[in-house]
Structure 1
Amino acid sequence: MASPKKKTLALIAHDGKKADMIGFVKDNIEFLKTFNLVATSTTGKMVMQTGLKVKRYLSGPLGGDAQITALVATGKCHAVIFMRDPLGMHPHEPDISSLLRICEVHDVPLATNLSSAQLIVKGLHKNLLKE
């Protein structure tokens, strides 16, 4: 069950980027413990193997990206780390585009690679210290 005081962070990774996501999670595990984590199915399963609790949604191609988009649109997700494979073909590209668009519309931080993910972690950490 999600803690009402914790902010929610979504974790998504295309197949070719799952290793990057797990490396990111391991490098930031103590910080990530301060969030309610949500993820698409396979990414969530892999993240759970690090010992973190994760609420898993459907896999991306089956609607998981759309489910996380709905969380962002309704203010229930405060940041998204989406390790995308920009060179791969994805049958659910419309859902991916929708997630990117909704994050922009609702001014929700969105990382799409390791560098931007690290910047989001630093920014979120700084904001949490202010609260």
Structure 2
Amino acid sequence: MTSLCPCGLGRPYTRCCGPLHAGGVAETAEALMRSRYSAFVLADVSYLLATWHRDTRPPALDLGEAGATRWLGLEVRRHAMTGADRATVEFVARYKVGGAPAVRLREVSRFAREDGRWFYLDGEFA
């Protein structure tokens, strides 16, 4: 049995974010954002760094203690092209750390496309 992709589209992982995690190209900024959410769920630091724009990418990424964060869901509220190779994605991601109450992270993320590939630039918490 194939498991559903964490990104919330209701598709099998192997036909959704899995191919992007294996090196495929996201066709839209929203697809990249969803694949990055799935990478957070799966603790795929390499993918997160590889899809972060070189101008804003941190040298390393610490996701904390393995298994401490439980991701509860993703809601994409808006995806907008802001130029030929620029876009924003507004989303709400829910997660829980240990026994603490669930957290709703609302962000408007900026993305840039270079050489046909989308990259995460940065985001503002809303």
Tell whether the structures are fold-level matches, with TM greater than 0.5.
no
| Structure with the largest fraction of strand | 2
Larger Rg: 1 or 2? 2
In the superposition, the TM-score normalised over structure 2's length comes to: 0.28
Q: TM-score, normalization: structure 1?
A: 0.27
